[in-house]
Amino acid sequence: MTGTRQFLGSSPRATAGTVARMTTPPPSNVPPPTESSQPTVDAYPAPPADGSYTPVPAPKKSKLPLILAAAGAAVLLIAIAIGGTLWFVGRNDLTKEQAQRECRTAIEREAERRAGLGNNILVSMTGVELQETWETEDGWSVNGTANYTLTSALLGQTPTSVGLTCEAVATDDGVRTTVKNRL
């Protein structure tokens, strides 16, 4: 008896005087192949004859990506809203120091304007003193006193002062000041 070798993918051929056999025995711990003990399930069963068959619905797609995208978009919109609000509110903020600086200049200009209305009188500004500053609904109010010296031929030099109140409000164009007599 002569034997032939069998290679993977090839089929044994039995010829006269030749016996097909394996050259290496199978391992002892591997059981011999048997019939499958699991029942076979038809993936596409035939509908019953009585017409009560309902097709199996297709598996539902996950809604998780849609939920995550909506949550991400909501977070992004909230961040943009907060950032825009802070930028818009922050750019028109008027600090106490800015209001005092603007009001000092406005009070000085108003005092010079009022002093220039007289005839034959020389006016010399000697300074502006700021008193109290308080925050209002629209901005800041500053009380101040403009000190100046009036010089005329009849009276000589006369030091005088005028009490004024300045209101400073932040606008898109900068700071707007309004000066009026202090009550």
Q: CB of 131 within 8 A of CB of 120?
A: no
Whether pLDDT at 74 is above 80: yes
In this structure, is residue 120 part of a structural domain? yes
In this structure, is residue 2 part of a structural domain? no
In this structure, is residue 34 part of a structural domain? no
Query: Which residues 6+ apart lie within 8 Å of 132 measured at CB?
Result: 142, 143
Compute CA distances 24 → 5, 11, 14, whole Å. Answer: 10, 17, 19
What is residue 1's predicted lDDT score, i.e. its pLDDT?
Answer: 47
Range of the domain at 103: 96-181
Task: Please tell me the total count of domains within the chain.
Answer: 1
Whether pLDDT at 171 is above 60: yes
In this structure, is residue 131 part of a structural domain? yes
Residues 118-124 have a mean pLDDT of 76
Whether pLDDT at 181 is above 80: yes
In this structure, is residue 85 part of a structural domain? no
Structure-block tokens of residue 132? 């109290």
Range in 20-29, 52-61, 139-148 with the lowest mean pLDDT: 20-29
Alpha-carbon gap, residue 149 to 153, rounded angstroms = 13
Whether pLDDT at 39 is above 80: no
DSSP-derived letter for residue 129 is E
